[in-house]
Chain A
Amino acid sequence: MLSYVLKRLAQLVVVSFIISVLVFLLIHLLPGDPTSIILGGNDTAANRQILLHQLGLNTPLYHQYWIWLIHALHGNLGQSYLTHETVGHVIATGFPIDVELIIISQVVAFTVAIPLALITSRRPNRPLDNIATTGTFGLLALPPFLIAPILVAIFAVGLHWFPATGYIPFGQNPATNLHDMILPGLALTAGSIAVYYRLLRSDLIMTLQEDFITMARSKGLSNRRIMMRQAFRPSTFSLLAVAGVNIGSLLAGTFIVEYLFAMPGLGYSIVQAVQQRDYLIVQGIALVVAIAYVVLQFIIDFLFTVVDPRVTRE
């Protein structure tokens, strides 16, 4: 068990290191010179040299990377040359928004998907099951950039139930914050509901054909007890694996939602920074998002060892 976790931890460090190199190269090998944008009208050769020196862009690439890495490890990712806001500050204010959005969407997705799958998998191919299975197939064709505008059109513009844009920090006014989060959260949750429901349903159907379920039935256990105590846990392995991948990829969905609802999360900030060639912000957010993604996978893998202790023996 311990050696398994240590091995995975070592992998995590190696992958994080490679990601930091990739993020660095991504920004530095691409065309588009930040100095000409920063200098604007003052773009003379002399000024450029001074700026290159100030930004440390005149040293060899590996040296720049080393300096950046050391600073990053100390929590200093530089500052925006436009607003002079530190990258750390942008991330500290933006990241909670992404996390809140993802948590809301996932809580909703699991509360809808799990009971629905538990109900329909007992009687597959009956009307209720068919409706749910077909409906979720449709949801799979509704990515956030498609469903979010539709939700805004119906519930914000049409019915005026929710605001179309805006964000108030949770600390300032929790009720308003949660109310404003409903539409963005729903836009994110649609795909997850479909994925989790379909996966859990088919795994449950398969588990219900196992011998130990027949055994439980013949012992006279109630259906409810069989579903909850016997069938559910062994059916959650692929759900957990997919949830990990899915939550990581939800980041992209949060980009869309934040952009549409004008919420200053990481997605909103990175799109803005990209438009303004604010490369340190792009670099910082890319690094944090990529590392967060990898760490999330690590946590999910760790959860596996709890749900299914067999994995550590492989």
Chain B
Amino acid sequence: MADERKLHSPGVSSSLGIFPGQTPPVVMAAALAESPVDDGILAKRPLGALFWFALVWVALVAIFAIIANWLPLPNPNYQNYAAINASPGIHHILGTDDLGRDLLSRIIFGARVSLVVGFASVAIGMLIGGTLGLISGFKGGRLDVALNAGSFVILAFPAIVAVIAIVAFWGQTLAKITIIIGVGTIPIMFRVVRASSLAFANRDFVIAARTLGATSTRIVFREILPNVIPAAVSFGLITVAGVIVLEGSLAFLGLSVALPTPSWGNLIAEGTANGNLSINPYILMWPALAMFFLLLSINLIGDRLRQRFDVREGLL
């Protein structure tokens, strides 16, 4: 028991620590873990009302972000000088900013950046890192040793520094930022999937499949993959929250998607600039609330799924 809950063995405490915004996914996963007292009951406990609230919130944000173009909203970059710093009201539900831009519209369009970067980059990491991890954990041998060492070296590098430098010199478009962060999540997803793949590689049903003459490809994709998915998905969700924080931090520093494209991070930065905090606190308040509830919801969903599938950080 004691070994299982040890987060990761000493000597590798640098592992998985690349994500900024102070809480890297592994730390997050450890912090989210419920107390062992409730273990056993938890697996059978229903997901709970909060889980569904969280899911509805994430779904709402996603749906609004997708259909933003068809909603009766003003252009998020349209500057209405007749309505500067308007309070929330009938014409502007959440009010306007110091350039007269509609805040609701900017928040809905801004959600696109957070969600696209968050989910697409983790999908990149999952696809490449996950595939490598699946094979590496199953095959073992030199390939495994090499990939494992490589992932540690990459994870030893503080991501914010690498991402800031690359984004600044390469370009600040949505696609580039997604790719850069996506590449950064490869070693994380690699480690998660490798650990569970390794745990399943010697289980009876895998040996049985092999004895029956199944090919390695078949074993990996039909026997191991379905068992690895729960861990990958629940850990992937926590990584999504980490990535959204990373993108938000970049946007706050003015290094994410170039202005005037709205994103929650640069809306928050705008709320703190030019004395807006005392003139019009709504500019900060709305995106801050939206971001807080999005992160809270994703953490909650990831955490409940992790409990349900009984994913243990000790595996990593």
Answer yes or no: A153 CB below 8 A from chain B CBs: yes
Complex Cα–Cα for A152 and B277 (A):
8
A255-B35 contact in complex given A8-B11, A26-B166, A286-B161, C-beta closer than 8 Å:
no
Question: Which B-chain residue is minimally distant from A314 (CB atoms)?
Answer: B9
Q: Are B20 and A253 in contact (CB under 8 A)?
A: yes
Stretch from A168-176, A177-185, A197-205 that touches the partner = A197-205
Chain B residues closer than 8 Å to A305, beta-carbon distance: 10
Q: Does chain A have a CB within 8 A of B187?
A: no
Give min CB distance, A207 to chain B, whole Å. 9
Chain B residues positioned under 8 Å from A282 (CB to CB): 165, 168
Chain B count of residues within 8 A CB distance of the other chain:
73
- Do the beta carbons of B165 and A248 come within 8 Å of each other? no
Residues in A neighbouring B1, C-beta threshold 8 A: 206
Taking CB atoms, residues of chain A closer than 8 Å to B299 are: 137, 140-141
How far is it, in angstroms, between the C-alpha of A209 and the C-alpha of B38 when the chains are bound?
A: 13
B80 interfacial contact with A, CB 8 Å: no
Known: A141-B299, A248-B14, A274-B164. A255 touches B253 (CB 8 A): yes
Q: Does B17 contact A (CB under 8 A)?
A: yes
Q: B5: CB under 8 A from chain A? A: yes
A230 proximal to B (CB < 8 A): no
Q: How many residues of A contact B (CB 8 A)?
A: 79
B295 and A275 contacting across the interface, CB-CB below 8 Å: no
Is A237 within 8 A of B6, CB to CB? yes
Whether B37 pairs with A195 at a CB distance below 8 angstroms is no
What residues make up the interface of A, taking CB atoms closer than 8 Å to B?
8, 15, 18-19, 22, 26-27, 30-32, 124-125, 136-138, 140-146, 149-150, 152-153, 157, 164, 188, 191-192, 194-195, 198-199, 201-203, 205-206, 209, 237-238, 240-242, 244-246, 248-253, 255-256, 259-260, 270-271, 274-275, 277, 282, 285-286, 289-290, 293-294, 297, 300-301, 304-305, 308, 311, 314
15 intermolecular pairs with C-beta atoms under 8 Å apart: A30-B170, A124-B37, A140-B31, A140-B295, A143-B23, A145-B248, A145-B249, A152-B272, A238-B30, A241-B6, A241-B7, A251-B20, A252-B158, A274-B168, A297-B156
